């Protein structure tokens, strides 16, 4: 006999005897239910595949958890529908994948490869297609035609590495299309290849034990049939290690050649422009077509601007001409301000000033920027007939990318009757905006890839190879040195020579004052350290020398001008004397 | 006028005044640019009408949702302030008097939506408690001086006395803002109102000295020093300056204690208020805007999924969701000429009569309409394709059936949701929006989840089933239209049957248990008979009456689903009311500029459709734009790049590409040009943020990206 608690209809607990059969029925019922349950998990497993995080379902949030997979699928499908948007063609893992350690001479190799066989690669890939599909890492057989071609062109040693590079290139696309497990597998292989190349080509023991260990770690799971969680972890940790490995060693393997040894070295802005004007632009027909596509959007932009959205343009190529055309066609009859973000002297202050002074004709001054902003906002809120278009080229430029500037521009743009259309170019430009700013801006994004050169945008930039004011320090040097006494000139020359002698010494700090004094005395240029100090003060006033305190507390003197200019100056001096 | 200069960066263009007056109305932009667009004016008007309706609906809804929160907040404000009034000598009150009453308002991470909440909160407080409400933001108050200044100036603005406004402005300028001046100002004002409007005022507002409510919108971003100082100072003046604080908190209440040391937080008397979670908010928005026939506009599955994903993945912001909705509405009316029919039924029917020939042609071109025509008899097909009038009549009836379809659709969807939302593991989703998405996408009964959901439904207990059925019944009854009247009746019947089952069963139970009740058993026998019973079960399964009925109910709901939850694609003319261009939405709202750059640099063929540029993935032809070549070469380097090597590699590639016309220019000049092109490419890469100059080694640049892009 068994006791059983049963919940009666009228919700009163009651204890009573129950017969065997009832118990049996009861239990069997349960069993039937259990049988059901056994079937069910299978079904539920299927659903889990779609809902990515099954463990999470049990919790409160339930299926709130996003169906990432579906989401990605949706986007994937969209790509086929929209031919226009370039941003959707590649998966994230390609863009954000980690790089392998690069061989120092790889660039030259790639260059020669690109130069020599520009079109043939395509045919290889077609031939190798089935092999790629079947996913055999060592598809050396398939590569034999390419090897032959390479043999004709290169000597043996180059051949090995080039084919390796080639093979890697052919493997690479597969990486991304396949599942994660395969991805990490071929990745590790690349690693090995790179490691081998290091050993073979440079004959240095660069290969650290760490790399080897890490290779082992990665290659182990390759043979596992199913991708497991552990593998995933391995993969990520592997990537992380790779990153830190590449960034930990302070030594960088690059060649030591400098531009100075090449004669062409630096050009100034003017000659650069002249030279570039001789280049005939390629693909002009296609570019024109692209631009025409974008021009058709002008009306839509105007509509959306009026409806309270702001527009931001992104994509490779200068968008300045496009915006200029927009201005010319749509904005002739309305007040607008063009703001060159790339102009090095631009600031939010100057933008606000041009609004208050030129648009609103206000003559007064403001205590600070925030006051000015408040004033402008009030003015625009009061007078709804007032309309203002802001065109900002390079909203992400050095001068405007600061948090405060963005905040202020965002607040301006959130006004109903201020319409903002801006362009961004920098890779990380969207990081400028947090949620608050983004909602103030209320952006609509438009991709406008134009491929046009950033002529205007880079002309102000203190570029790497453009001699911005290269002639200036030299002329000022000679100018100052002419006004000096012969002794002072001698002192200065001494310092220059010393600095040039030590230019290859990476730990060179400068010439210590004591040594300098000694040398000057020996050359009969000064008779006491007081006179030397007096001379040095003059140099310092002209910003010709600077002093630095060394770790031992001694003062070191050096000239903050690059060595090329200094040697040029010395040559000139010697010619004159 | 040129827009480039070496001396300035802002160029203002001001057309002369007369010209400006004739500014183009917005509608112009709507129809221009597209030549064949039809009824654009009407479409734009419809857009504006629908958008205004949606906007006001959401605002109303938000107010309703906030109502509870505000009510309790206001109650708190009134209660906490009453202490000042009583002036009692009670010791407890005295203690309390030293503490600043504080409401910690937890609003969630969707900071962008808070603005609206605060605005309506201010209104509510001003209407019910006190005219003195001040909102402060962290970015306005870098230090205590600015803090007090802002507080002072906003308090002045709150005080609506017009005559004294000028005077106060002067005061504000003259006096140095301090807590003392604040409290003396407060005394002044309260006394003045007392004298100025003697009896009337006192009856209208409850107290002679209304409290000052200070709202700190973003408590987390205030500097701790400012907050601490302010709290300490104001607690000293509390007896003459009745202050109540409201903290807007985005994270969790713990933050108060993290920002304020015990000495300071003990000066506060904190009560916590929780706002509605944004997920519930979203559910209501979707419920009120999309799952209703009130608005004729609908979203396709992909669009809805993109919008909800942006919401759930990125910002939890209702505002952004609404923005996406607005954009899809605009896009729909802008791009679909037949969207002119996207309005309420009688109006749409009226509009059909005025459709132009072109629009009729548009209707005929709709894929859904073509499918419909193909199913008709031949004469009717001919008539539909040639006779405009007949087409219009047919369109009217089709629109009507589309409307009916929607009415039924939403009702059945809600019923189905009642059934599936309580199942374990939620095979069809917890939220109705997930169910809606699946139903929009395909025939839901083909999916495995649906099958497993039905299986689970077949195991429901009786009382569960009954409550669900009752809910369904009320859902069906809630609609004003009686399309599904018979269904409601059927559910009622089922309910009644279930009810009657109870009584029958009880009788059976009673008789059954009495007959076999008192048999004795031991464990061995039990096991044995269990096995026997199992065998019996396998051979002939007998269902109880309840089980039969349950089966009936499940089959009934299944038939409902199959009849009414057809995906919208099956309905003729659905294109007129569904927005389907998910990719445009995604492009404009959730763009990926980095990917675009990557594609442009790696695969120029994608944009420049020139056969020369066609190449396999990972390779780039040597005739590609300079910047692509330079980029590709730089990818081969590690952290530092030697400019000389780079430029030589670049030159190798470019000269190889130019080989054909090499003889025309001297090699010297050609080299110079190539070098110039290289310089341009490098400085462009620098502008894009791929490289930057470095001082670690002469003539090197540092790579700024890690990986493929």
3-state SS, one letter per residue, for B296-339: CCEECHHHHHHHHHHHHHHHCCHHHHHHHHHHHHHHHHHHCHHH
Task: Supply the pLDDT for residue A332.
Answer: 85
Q: State the Cα angle at A445 between A443 and A449, rounded to 5°.
A: 150
Q: What percent of chain B has pLDDT over 90?
A: 18
* Tokens matching residue B330: 């605009």
Please, are residues A268 and A466 in contact by the beta-carbon 8 Å criterion?
Answer: yes
A12 touches chain B (CB under 8 A): no
Helices in A154-283 by DSSP H: which ranges? 156-177, 180-197, 209-219, 229-248, 269-277
Q: How far is A134 from chain B (nearest CA, A)?
A: 18
Closest chain B C-alpha to A129 CA, distance in angstroms = 12
Whole-angstrom distance, CA of residue A213 vs CA of residue A2: 65
- Cβ B447 vs Cβ B565: under 8 Å: no
Which is nearest to A283 in space by CA: B608, B449, B322, B140?
Answer: B608
CA angle B470, B472, B476 (to 5 degrees): 120
Cβ–Cβ under 8 Å, residues A514 and A553: no
Q: Are strands A511-512 and A555-558 parallel, antiparallel or unpaired?
A: antiparallel
pLDDT value of position B162: 46
Distance of alpha carbon B72 from alpha carbon B132, whole angstroms:
19
The residues with which B103 forms a beta bridge, in sequence order, are B246, B271
Residue of B nearest to A70 (CA): B305
Closest residue to A22, CB basis, from B516, B588, B673: B516
DSSP label of A265: -
Give the residue from chain B lying closest to A255, CA to CA.
Answer: B642
A199: tokens are 């050993």
In chain B, residues with a C-beta closer than 8 Å to the C-beta of A271 are 676
In this complex, is the C-beta atom of B425 within 8 Å of any C-beta atom belonging to chain A?
yes
Query: From the list A9, A121, A254, which residue is nearest B640 (CB)?
Result: A254
Contact B111 A436 (CB under 8 A): yes
Q: How confident is the model over A328-343, as a mean pLDDT?
A: 88
Q: Which of B558, B570, B534, B378 has its CA nearest to residue B455?
A: B558
**Cross-chain Cβ contact A337/B683 below 8 Å:** no
Give the model's pLDDT for residue A105.
66
A388 has a chain B CB within 8 A of its CB: no
- Asked whether the predicted pLDDT for residue A232 surpasses 60, the reply is no
Task: List the one residue out of B534, B549, B525, B561 whose CA is nearest residue B416.
Answer: B561
Q: With a CB-CB cutoff of 8 Å, which residues 429-468 of chain B face chain A?
A: 429-431, 434, 448-449, 451-452, 455-456, 459
What is the rounded radius of gyration, in angstroms, for the C-alpha atoms of chain B? 36
Write out residues 92-131 of A within 8 Å (CB-CB) of B: 92, 94-99, 101-104, 106-112, 114-116, 118-119, 121-122, 125
CB–CB contacts below 8 A, A to B? 481
- Using a 10 angstrom Cβ sphere, with 0-12 exposed, 13-18 middle and 19 or more buried, the burial of residue B602 is buried
Cα dihedral sign, A302-A303-A308-A311: negative
How close, in Å, is residue A250 to chain B by CA atoms? 10
Instruction: HSE, CB side, 13 Å, CA atoms: give it for residue B415.
Output: 30
A87 and B649 within 8 Å at the Cβ level: the answer is no
Residue-level pLDDT at A482: 79
Output the pLDDT for position A501. Answer: 86
Cβ atoms of A43 and A54 closer than 8 Å: no
State the DSSP code for B233. H
Residue with the two structure tokens 């026939």 = B293
Residue of A nearest to B27 (CA): A303
Q: Are residues A347 and B8 in contact, defined by beta-carbon separation less than 8 angstroms? A: no
| Bigger pLDDT: A180 vs B311 | B311
Report the C-alpha gap between A119 and B446 in whole angstroms: 49
Taking Cα atoms as reference points, which of A147, A182, A151 lies closest to residue A164?
Answer: A147
Cα Rg of chain A (Å, integer): 35
Please name which of B208, B193, B213, B214 lies closest in space to residue B84, comparing C-alpha atoms.
Answer: B208
Residues of chain A with Cβ-Cβ distance to B19 below 8 Å are 333
In this predicted structure, what is the pLDDT of residue A252? 60
pLDDT at position A284 is 85
* Mean pLDDT, residues A347-355: 91
| Residue-wise pLDDT tens digits, A362-418 | 888 888 888 899 899 999 999 888 889 999 999 998 889 888 899 999 999 999 889
Give the closest-approach CA distance of A433 to chain B in angstroms: 13
The widest CA-to-CA distance across chain A, in whole angstroms, is 127
What is the per-residue pLDDT for A118?
Answer: 44
Question: Which residues 233-292 on chain A approach chain B with CB closer than 8 angstroms?
Answer: 243, 246-247, 252-262, 264, 267, 271-272, 275-276, 278-279, 282-283, 286-287, 289-290
CB contact under 8 A, B633 and A21: no
What proportions of chain B, in percent to the nearest 5, are helix, strand and coil? 65, 5, 25
- How high is the pLDDT of residue B49? 93
A158-167, A508-517, B239-248, B460-469: which range is least confident on average? A158-167
Q: How confident is the model at residue A22 (pLDDT cuts 50, 70, 90)?
A: low
* CA neighbours closer than 13 Å in the CB half-sphere of residue A423: 27
Q: What is the DSSP string of A334-358?
A: S-EEEEETTSTT--HHHHHHIIIII
Residues 6+ apart with CB under 8 A from B481: B407
Using a cut of 0.95, tell me whether the model's pTM lies above it. no
pLDDT at residue A263, rounded to an integer: 56
Question: Helices H, strands E: what count in chain A?
Answer: 26, 10
DSSP H or E segment with residue B93: helix B91-98
Interface test with B, best of A1, A2, A14, A24 (most B CBs within 10 A): A24
SS3 content of chain A, % helix, strand, coil (to 5): 60, 10, 30
ipTM of the complex: 0.85
Q: For residue B82, give both structure tokens.
A: 């009453």
Return the higher-pLDDT residue of A344 and A393: A393
Contact B608 A465 (CB under 8 A): no
**Per-residue confidence (pLDDT) for residue B409, from 0 to 100:** 92
According to DSSP, the β-strands at B133-136 and B100-106 are unpaired
The answer to whether A337 faces chain B, any CB pair under 8 Å, is yes
CB contact under 8 A, B449 and A114: no
Give every residue of chain B whose pLDDT is below 70, as ranges: 1, 17-25, 31-38, 83-97, 159-176, 192-208, 480-483, 502-521, 536-543, 617-618, 659-666, 707-709
Q: Are B46 and B340 in contact (CB under 8 A)?
A: yes
pLDDT of residue A18: 56
The predicted pLDDT at position A406 comes to 93
E strands present in A56-167? none
> Choosing among B596, B665, B702, B703, which should be mutated to test the A contact, i.e. which has the most A CBs within 10 A?
B596
Residues of A in contact with B599 (CB under 8 A): 86-87, 89-90
pLDDT at B184: 84
DSSP SS3 for B216: strand
Partner B contacted by A360 (CB < 8 A): no
Percentage, residues of chain A above pLDDT 70:
53
- Position B372 scores a pLDDT of 92
Residue A250, judged by CB atoms within 10 A of its CB (0-12, 13-18, 19+), counts as: exposed
Let me know the angle formed at the C-alpha of A374 by A371 and A376, rounded to the nearest 5 degrees: 110
The CA distance from B239 to B237, in Å, is: 6
Which candidate from B588, B672, B683 shows the least CB-CB separation from A461?
A: B683
User: Is B55 at the interface with chain A, CB within 8 A?
Assistant: no
* Structure tokens belonging to residue A21: 């059969």
Nearest to A568 by CA among A475, A506, A479: A475
Picking from A333, A387, A457, the nearest residue to B687 by CB comes out as A457
Do the chains contact at A86 and B625, CB–CB below 8 Å? no
The SS3 of residue A314 is: strand
Tokens of A66: 């996003």
What pLDDT does residue B542 have?
61
Could you tell me which residue, A416 or A61, shows the higher pLDDT? A416
Task: Tell me what pLDDT residue A414 has.
Answer: 92
d(CA A86, CA B605): 11
Q: What is the model's pLDDT at position B429?
A: 85
| Closest by Cβ to A18, choosing from B20, B513, B627 | B513
Asked whether the beta carbons of A113 and A162 are under 8 A apart, the reply is: yes
What share of chain A has pLDDT > 90, as a percent? 14
Q: Looking at the partner chain, which of A57, A96, A465 has a beta carbon nearest the beta carbon of B679?
A: A465
Residue of B nearest to A435 (CA): B112
**pLDDT grade, residue A120 (50/70/90)?**
very low
Which pairing describes strands B700-703 and B691-693: parallel, antiparallel, or unpaired? Answer: antiparallel
pLDDT score, position A280 = 76
List, in order of start, the domains of chain B with CATH numbers. 35-85+95-159+210-276 (3.40.50.300), 281-441+564-579 (no CATH), 593-703 (1.10.10)
Q: Chain B residues with CB inside 8 Å of A449's CB?
A: 596, 600, 607
Which residue did the predictor score with more confidence, B659 or A145? B659
Q: Are strands A418-423 and A388-393 parallel, antiparallel or unpaired?
A: parallel
Closest residue, chain A, to B15 (C-alpha): A333
Higher pLDDT pick, B528 / A76? B528
Q: CB of B633 within 8 A of CB of B646?
A: yes
Cβ neighbours of residue A196 closer than 8 Å, sequence gap 6 or more: none
């Amino acid at each position: 006999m068994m006791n059983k608690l049963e919940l009666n209809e009228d919700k009163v607990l009651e204890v009573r005897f129950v017969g065997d059969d009832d118990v049996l029925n009861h239990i069997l019922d349960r069993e039937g239910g259990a049988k059901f349950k056994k079937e069910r998990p299978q079904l539920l497993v299927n659903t889990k595949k779609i809902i990515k995080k099954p463990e999470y379902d049990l919790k409160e949030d339930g299926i709130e958890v996003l169906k990432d997979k579906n989401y990605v699928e949706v986007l994937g499908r969209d790509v086929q529908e929209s031919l226009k948007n370039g941003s959707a063609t590649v998966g994230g893992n390609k863009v954000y994948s980690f790089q392998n350690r690069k061989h120092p001479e790889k660039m030259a190799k790639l260059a020669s490869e690109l130069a020599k066989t520009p079109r043939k690669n395509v045919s290889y890939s077609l031939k190798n297609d089935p092999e790629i599909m079947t996913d055999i890492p060592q598809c050396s057989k398939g590569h034999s035609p390419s090897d032959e071609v390479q043999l004709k062109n290169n000597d043996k040693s180059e051949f090995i590495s080039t084919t390796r590079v080639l093979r890697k290139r052919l493997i690479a696309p597969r990486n991304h299309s396949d599942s994660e497990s395969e991805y990490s597998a071929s990745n590790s292989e690349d690693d090995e290849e790179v490691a081998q190349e290091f050993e073979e080509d440079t004959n240095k023991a660069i290969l650290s034990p760490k790399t080897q260990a890490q290779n082992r770690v990665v290659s182990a799971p390759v043979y596992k049939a199913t991708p497991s969680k552990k593998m995933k972890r391995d993969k990520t940790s592997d990537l992380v290690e790779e990153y830190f490995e590449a960034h930990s060693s302070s030594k960088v393997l690059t060649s030591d050649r400098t531009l100075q040894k090449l004669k062409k070295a630096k050009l100034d802005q003017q000659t650069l422009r002249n030279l570039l004007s001789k280049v005939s632009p390629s693909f002009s027909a296609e570019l024109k077509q692209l631009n025409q596509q974008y021009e058709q959007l002008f009306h839509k932009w105007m509509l959306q601007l009026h409806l309270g959205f702001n527009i931001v343009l992104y994509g490779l190529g200068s968008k300045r001409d496009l915006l200029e055309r927009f201005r010319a066609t749509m904005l002739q009859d309305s007040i607008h301000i063009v703001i060159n973000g790339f102009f090095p002297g631009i600031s939010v202050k100057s933008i606000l000033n041009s609004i208050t002074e030129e648009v609103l004709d206000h003559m007064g001054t403001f205590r600070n920027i925030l006051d000015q902003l408040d004033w402008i906002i009030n003015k625009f809120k009061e007078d709804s007939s007032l309309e203002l278009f802001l065109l900002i080229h390079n909203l992400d430029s050095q001068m405007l990318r600061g948090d405060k500037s963005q905040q202020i521009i965002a607040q301006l743009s959130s006004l109903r009757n201020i319409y903002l259309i801006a362009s961004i170019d920098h890779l990380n430009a969207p990081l400028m905006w947090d949620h608050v700013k983004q909602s103030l801006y209320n952006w609509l994004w438009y991709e406008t890839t134009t491929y046009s050169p950033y002529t205007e945008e880079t002309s102000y930039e203190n570029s790497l190879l453009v001699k911005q004011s290269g002639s200036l320090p030299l002329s000022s040097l000679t100018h100052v040195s002419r006004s000096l006494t012969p002794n002072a000139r001698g002192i200065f020359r001494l310092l220059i020579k010393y600095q040039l002698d030590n230019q290859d010494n990476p730990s060179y700090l400068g010439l210590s004052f004591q040594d300098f004094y000694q040398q000057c005395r020996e050359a009969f240029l000064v008779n006491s350290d007081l006179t030397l100090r007096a001379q040095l003060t003059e140099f310092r006033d002209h910003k010709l020398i600077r002093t630095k305190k060394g770790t031992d507390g001694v003062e070191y003197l050096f000239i903050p001008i690059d060595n090329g200019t200094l040697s040029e100056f010395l040559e000139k001096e010697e010619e004159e004397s | 006028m040129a827009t480039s200069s070496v001396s300035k960066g802002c160029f203002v263009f001001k057309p002369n005044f007369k010209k400006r007056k004739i500014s183009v109305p917005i509608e112009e932009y709507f129809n221009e640019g597209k030549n064949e667009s039809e009824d654009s004016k009407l479409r734009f008007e419809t857009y504006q009408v629908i958008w205004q309706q949606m906007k006001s609906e959401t605002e109303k809804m938000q107010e309703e949702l906030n109502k509870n929160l505000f009510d309790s907040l206001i109650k708190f404000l009134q209660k906490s302030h009453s202490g000042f009034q009583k002036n009692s000598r009670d010791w407890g009150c005295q203690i309390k008097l030293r503490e600043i009453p504080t409401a910690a308002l937890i609003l969630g991470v969707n900071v962008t939506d808070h603005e609206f909440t605060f605005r309506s909160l201010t209104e509510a407080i001003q209407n019910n408690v006190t005219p003195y409400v001040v909102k402060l933001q962290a970015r306005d108050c870098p230090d205590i001086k600015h803090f007090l200044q802002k507080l002072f100036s906003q308090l002045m603005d709150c005080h609506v006395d017009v005559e004294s406004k000028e005077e106060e402005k002067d005061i504000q300028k003259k006096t140095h803002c301090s807590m003392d001046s604040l409290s003396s100002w407060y005394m002044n004002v309260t006394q003045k109102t007392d004298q100025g409007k003697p009896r009337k005022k006192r009856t209208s507002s409850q107290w002679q000295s209304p409290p000052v409510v200070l709202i700190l919108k973003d408590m987390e971003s205030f500097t701790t020093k400012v907050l601490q100082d302010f709290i300490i100072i104001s607690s000293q003046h509390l007896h003459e300056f009745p202050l109540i604080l409201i903290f807007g908190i985005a994270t969790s209440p713990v933050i108060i204690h993290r920002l304020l040391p015990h000495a300071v937080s003990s000066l506060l008397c904190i009560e916590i208020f929780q706002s509605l979670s944004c997920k519930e908010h979203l559910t209501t928005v979707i419920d009120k805007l999309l799952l209703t026939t009130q608005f004729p506009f609908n979203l396709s599955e992909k669009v809805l999924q993109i919008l909800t994903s942006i919401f759930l993945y990125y910002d939890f912001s209702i505002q952004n969701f609404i923005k996406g909705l607005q954009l899809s509405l605009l896009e729909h009316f802008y791009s679909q000429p037949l969207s002119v029919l996207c309005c309420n039924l009688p109006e749409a029917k009226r509009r059909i009569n005025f459709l132009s020939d072109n629009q009729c042609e548009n209707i005929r071109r709709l894929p859904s309409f073509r499918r419909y025509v193909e199913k008709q008899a031949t004469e009717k097909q001919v008539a539909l394709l040639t006779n405009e009038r007949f087409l219009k009549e047919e369109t009217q009836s089709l629109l009507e059936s589309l409307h009916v379809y929607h009415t039924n659709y939403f009702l059945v969807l809600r019923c189905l949701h009642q059934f599936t939302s309580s199942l374990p593991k939620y095979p069809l989703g917890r939220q109705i929006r997930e169910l809606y998405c699946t139903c929009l996408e395909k025939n839901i009964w083909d999916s495995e989840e649906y099958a497993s959901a039905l299986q689970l439904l077949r195991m429901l207990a009786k009382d569960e089933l009954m409550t669900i059925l009752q809910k369904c019944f009320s859902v069906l009854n809630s609609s004003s239209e009686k399309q599904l009247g018979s269904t409601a009746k059927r559910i009622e019947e089922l309910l009644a049957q279930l009810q009657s089952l109870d009584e029958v069963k009880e009788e059976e139970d009673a008789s059954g248990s009495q007959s076999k009740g008192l048999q004795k058993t031991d464990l061995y026998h039990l096991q044995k008979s269990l096995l026997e019973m199992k065998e019996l079960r396998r051979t002939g399964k007998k269902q109880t009456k309840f089980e039969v009925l349950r089966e009936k109910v499940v089959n009934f709901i299944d038939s409902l689903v199959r009849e009414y939850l057809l995906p919208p694609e099956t309905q003729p003319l659905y294109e007129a009311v569904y927005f389907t261009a998910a990719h445009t939405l995604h492009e404009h709202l959730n763009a990926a500029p980095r990917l675009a750059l990557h594609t442009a640099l790696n695969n120029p063929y994608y944009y420049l459709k020139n056969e020369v540029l066609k190449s396999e993935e990972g390779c780039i032809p040597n005739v590609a734009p300079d910047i692509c070549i330079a980029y590709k070469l730089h990818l081969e380097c590690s952290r530092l790049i030697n400019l000389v090597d780079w430029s030589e590699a670049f030159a190798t590639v470019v000269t190889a590409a130019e080989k054909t016309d090499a003889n025309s220019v001297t090699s010297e000049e050609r080299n110079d040009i190539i070098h110039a092109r290289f310089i341009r490419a490098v400085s462009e890469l620098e502008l894009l943020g791929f490289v930057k100059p470095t001082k670690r080694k002469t003539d090197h640049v540092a790579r700024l990206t890690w990986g493929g892009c």
